[in-house]
Amino acid sequence: MTETESREARTAKLEGLGTKRKRVEDARFTQGKGNYVDDIRLPGMLFGDFVRSPYGHARIKSIDASAALALPGVKAVLTAADLKPLKLHYMPTLAGDVQAVLADEKVLFQNQEVAFVVAEDRYIAADAVELVEVEYEELPALVDPFKAMDADAPVLREDLAGKTEGAHGPRRHHNHIFTWEVGDAGGTQAAIDGAEVVAKEMISYQRVHPCPLETCGCVASMDKVNEHLTLWGTFQAPHAVRTVASLITGIPEHKIRIVSPDIGGGFGNKVGVYPGYICAAVASIVLGVPVKWIEDRMENLSTTAFARDYHMTGEIAATRDGRITGLKCHVLADHGAFDACADPTKFPAGFFNICTGSYDIPVAHLVVDGVYTNKAPGGVAYRCSFRVTEASYFIERMVDVLARKLEMDPAELRRKNFIDKAQFPYTSALGWEYDSGDYHTAFDKALAAVDYQGLRAEQAANRQAFARGDTRSLMGIGVAFFTEIVGAGPVKNCDILGLGMFDSCEIRIHPTGSAIARLGTISQGQGHATTFAQILASEIGIPASQITVEEGDTDTAPYGLGTYGSRSTPVAGAATAMAGRKIRAKAQMIAAWLLEVHEGDLEWDVDRFVVKGAPERFKTMAELAFAAYNNVPPGMEPGLEAVSYYDPPNMTYPFGAYICVVDVDADTGVTQVRRFYALDDCGTRINPMIIEGQVHGGLTEALAIAMGQEISYDELGNVHGASLMDFFLPTAVETPAWETDFTETPSPHHPIGAKGVGESPNVGGVSAFSNAVNDAFAHLGLTHTQMPHDHWRVWKTAERLGVAE
Ligand code: MCN
Ligand code: CUM
C-alpha cells in the first residue's frame, strides 16, 4: 500500500518530533466546548461559599449562623467547631505544616476562611455569607518579615505553642518556620574576606500571584450507597490529591476518584490543597449530595498560592579583572500564616540553591530563614520551577551589581564566568549536577542577533543627548542568562509527602493501528494532547493524529505526580518514550514471526520493521497492531500494550540568553519595551510552535511581574492588589512583540534528549526586564532598585537621581 512512499513522506505523515503540529486541543477550546470544573452540573448539586475574615489578625469571640440558616435555600453552615470532631479543622500542608481549614479561634490573614455556607445556589450562598455574624477582637498585625523574629513580635501561630521542632529542623522563635543552610560557610567567608572586590546588595522579589484566568474550584460528590467519593477539581496533581484525600478522610483510596477536567491555566496556583476542597468534600459527605465550590477573583488573588516574597541579601566576591571567586546569600522568606509551600520534602526553599546560576563559582554559601506573617499562605507558584525564578533573579541582579562596581560590561562579565562546555556534566558549588550546556555559543548568538555592540553605542549617544537636554528618554539594555533545573525528579531526592516524584505513561494500541496513551501528568494549557502524541509517533511509527492522549482521571491514568516544575516533558515525556519502546520491542517479535526471520535481522524504518538487505520485505506498525490481536508467536500473550513508570536519573538543565531594550521617560516613569530577544535551549524540541507559545506566555508573565505586579499589605494587614483594578495583568496593549530563537543541546540522560521549557521564560525574563530598567539609570550611579518597576516607582528613581523634571 505505501511501498512507493519515500521515507520523508512517511516521516512527515507521523507529525512526530520537531513538527510544528497544530494544537489538537484548540478545536474544543476555540469553540467554547471545553469542559471546566464550573461547567459540571450534577442533579441536586449545592453551592458553597466562604465567610472570610475582614482582619489580618484577630481573635474570634463568637460565630452566630442563625440568621444565615434561616434564609430559605440555605442547607448548612460549617465552622471549625463542626470540623473538630472529624479532626478536619486543620489539614496537613505540602510543606509539613498544618493549615486551618476553617479558622480555629483566631484568624491569621485577611480573607481567611471562617465559615462555609452551603445553599441551593451561588447567590443564596453569597447572601447567607453576609448574614453570618462573627465577633472579632482585633490583634496587632505582623506584615514585615524583617520584624517577624523580633523578641516582641506578636505570636501568630498559637496552635504551635511550645513546638521547638518544625518539619525542617529546630525553631528558634515563635514566628520562625525553618532555617535551611547549604554550602561552605567558612570557605565562602574566606573568599569574601580575601577578595579584591566584593559587591553587596539586598534584592527583594515582591509577593505576586499567578492569577490564572480560571480560578480554583471543585465539585465533590459522595455516593453514600457505594461509599464512593468523586472529586472534580482544578488539580495539577490529581493522583497526589487522591492519596492525600484518602489519608485525611479515611475513605479507602480505591473508593476515591479524582478528575481534573480542562484547566484554564494553573501556573502553580493549582498545586496546593485548599480549604474549599475539604469543605466541599465534607459538606457532600454530610449532606449526601454534590457540592460545588468556585473561587471568585478576589478570593483567588488574596487567599490561594501567592508567589515569591523573598528578600535576598547577597555578597559576591571577584578579582579585579572580573573572575567571580565566591557567592554568599541570605534569604528571608515570608511564608505567610501557614507554610503551604509546594516543594519537594527535602527542599524547604525549593531549588533556590541553584543560585550560582550559569557561572563557574568555586565556593558558595546559602542560608534561608522562613518566617510566619499575617499574610496568605502559598509560596511556590507562578512559573517558578520551585524558587528558581527567585534564584535566577538574585544571581542575575548580583552579576550586574558586580559589573557596575568593576566598571565592566555586564555581558563581558557573564561571558568570562560561564561554565564552559567542556565542564559538563558540571557539579555546582551548592551541589547540583548540571546535565549539559553550551552557554558561550547561546550567548554569542544572542549578542550577535541584537547587535549588542551597536546597542551600547546607541546608548552612549542617547546618554549624551539626554545630558544635552535633547531627549527626555533614557535607554536601558538588560542582559540575562539563566540556567533552569526542571524534571523532579530522582525519587531518591524528590518526594512530596513521601510520594516519590516519578511519572508514568500507559499505551494501548488498538487492532486497527490507532492508540490511546494515558499519563500521570495534567495539561493546564501546555498542549500535552498535542505534544505527547508526537513523542509516541516518532517512537512507534503511528501518526500523532491517530493517538489520543488522556490525562487527569485517577480511575484510568497510571499513577503520576502531576504537572508543575516543568516536569512533564523531562519525566512523563521520558516515560512516554520508554513505554513506546516496549511497544516497539513486542512489535519487533511479532514482525519476526510474521516474516519468518530472526528478530536481529530486522531494522526499524520510520513506521515499520524491514528485513535487513531486503527492503521489499517489511511489516508496518499498522499491520503489526492487527497481528497482535490474532497472530502472535507461540507462547506470547496477545495484545499490544505497555506501561512505564519513569524515575529520572537526574534533572534537566535548560538554559537561555535574554536581552531586553527599554526606553524610560525620565519625567513620567513610563517604560516602553522596544525590543525583547529570547534564546531558549530546552534540548531536543518536540513542537517548536508550542515552545514558542510557552515562551510568549512566560515572557508576558515576566513583564507583568517585573513592571507592575505586587500583592502588598498595609500595617493593619489589609491586602492590596486583590482585584484586577489594582493587580497588573498585561493585555495586548502593554505586551511587546517577542523575538524568539534557540540552540539545541540535548539532555544526555533523557531518552529523547528533551528538557522542560514551560517555566524558562519567566525564570529568565524577569531579570532581563529588571536589568534593563536598572541599566537605564546606571550612568547616574544607580546599582539597584526594587521591583516592580511600575511607572510611579521608576519616576521616583528618576527624581531621586535628580533627572526627573
Ligand atoms: N515542549 C516541547 N519540547 C521541549 C519541551 C517542552 O515541545 N523540549 C512542550 C511540551 O511537550 C509541552 C509544553 O512544551 O506541551 C510544556 O512542557 P514542559 O516544559 O514539560 O512543562 P509542563 O508541561 O510540565 O508544564 C508545566 C509548566 C509550569 S510548571 C507552569 S507554572 C506553566 C507552564 O508550564 N503553566 C502554564 N506553562 C503554562 N502554559 C499554559 N498555557 N498554562 C499554564 O498554566
Ligand atoms: Cu512553580 S509554578 Mo509551575 O511549577 O506549576
Question: Does residue 381's CB lie within 6 angstroms of at least one atom of ligand 2?
Answer: yes
Residue 25 has what pLDDT?
97
Residue range 721-727: mean pLDDT, rounded:
94
Per the structure block, which three cell numbers stand in for 293? 465550590
The DSSP symbol for 737 reads P
Pocket-testing residue among 306, 310, 380, ligand 2, by greatest number of atoms within 8 A of Cβ? 380
Q: Which ligand is nearest to the CA of 688?
A: 1
Q: Are 793 and 669 within 8 A, CB to CB?
A: yes
- pLDDT tens digits for range 648-667: 999 999 999 999 999 999 99
C-alpha torsion angle, residues 134, 140, 142, 146 (rounded to 10): 180
* H-assigned helices in 541-573: none
Task: Note the pLDDT tens digit of each residue in 335-394.
Answer: 999 999 999 999 999 999 999 999 999 999 999 999 999 999 998 899 999 999 999 999
Is residue 2 pLDDT above 80, yes or no? no
Reported confidence tier of residue 3, pLDDT bands at 50, 70, 90: low
Ligand number nearest to the C-alpha of 524? 1
Q: How many Å separate Cα 611 from the centre of its chain?
A: 47
Ligand 1: does its nearest atom lie under 6 Å from the Cβ of 568? yes
- Cα 3 from Cα 12, distance rounded (Å): 15
For the residues 549-559, what does the mean pLDDT come to? 98
d(CA 388, CA 395): 10
- Alpha carbon distance 566, 759 (integer Å): 6
Average of pLDDT values for 250-266? 97
Cα 758 to averaged position of ligand 2 atoms, centre (Å): 9
Cα separations in angstroms, 62 against 86, 105, 135? 21, 9, 5
Per-residue confidence band for 805, with pLDDT thresholds at 50, 70 and 90: confident
**Which residue CA neighbors atom 2 of ligand 1 most closely?**
686
Q: What is the mean pLDDT of residues 467-484?
A: 98
Alpha helices by DSSP H, listed for 490-641, are: 528-540, 574-595, 621-627
736 burial (CB, 10 Å; 0-12 / 13-18 / 19+) is: middle
Residue 545 has pLDDT above 60, yes or no: yes
Radius of gyration of the chain (CA): 28
Distance of CA 518 to the CA centre of its chain: 22
193-204 average pLDDT score: 98
Nearest ligand to the CA of 387 is 2
Ligand 1 atom closest to the Cα of residue 683 is 8
pLDDT in tens, 623-657: 999 999 999 999 999 999 999 999 999 999 999 99
Active-site annotation holder among 218, 384, 505, 660: 384
* Among 396, 91, 132, 374, CA closest to 245: 91
For residues 213 and 271, what is the distance between their CA atoms, to the nearest angstrom? 16
CB 274 within 8 A of CB 52: no
Query: Is the CB of residue 384 less than 8 Å from the CB of residue 762?
Result: yes
How many Å apart are CA 36 and CA 456, to the nearest integer? 49
Asked whether the predicted pLDDT for residue 487 surpasses 60, the reply is yes
pLDDT of 1: 46
Residues in the chain: 805
Q: How far is CA 498 from CA 165, 178, 236, 338, 349, in A?
A: 19, 19, 17, 20, 17
Q: Which atom of ligand 1 is found nearest the CA of 523?
A: 23
- Would you call 623 a catalytic residue per the annotation? no
Question: What atom in ligand 1 is closest to the CA of residue 532?
Answer: 11
Domains of the chain, with CATH numbers? 7-34+503-646 (3.30.365.10), 37-139+215-263+271-303 (3.90.1170.50), 306-487+651-800 (3.30.365.10)
For range 184-210, the mean pLDDT: 98
Q: What is the pLDDT of residues 759-773, one digit of tens each?
A: 999 999 999 999 999
Q: Please, are residues 203 and 400 in contact by the beta-carbon 8 Å criterion?
A: no
Q: Mean pLDDT in the chain?
A: 97
Q: 3-state DSSP call for residue 656?
A: strand
Q: Name the packing angle between helices 528-540 and 574-595 (round to 10°).
A: 30
| Nearest-angstrom CA–CA distance, 206 and 795 | 19
Q: Is 99 a catalytic residue?
A: no
The question of whether 216 is a catalytic residue gets the answer: no
- Whether 429 is in the pocket of ligand 2, judged by its Cβ within 6 Å, is no
Atom of ligand 2 nearest to the CA of 384: 1
Q: Does the annotation mark 383 as catalytic?
A: yes
| pTM beyond 0.95 | yes
The whole-angstrom separation of Cα 170 and Cα 798 is 45
Q: Ligand 1 pocket, 266 CB below 6 A?
A: yes
Question: What is the β-pairing status of strands 256-259 and 228-233?
Answer: parallel
State yes or no: pLDDT of 4 exceeds 90.
Answer: no
Percent of all residues in the chain with a pLDDT value above 90, rounded to a whole number: 99
Pair 489, 571: CB distance under 8 Å: yes
Residue 408: CB atoms within 10 Å: 16
Residue 455, ligand 2, Cβ within 6 A? no
Separation of alpha carbons 519 and 551, rounded Å = 5
Does the pLDDT of residue 714 top 70, yes or no? Answer: yes
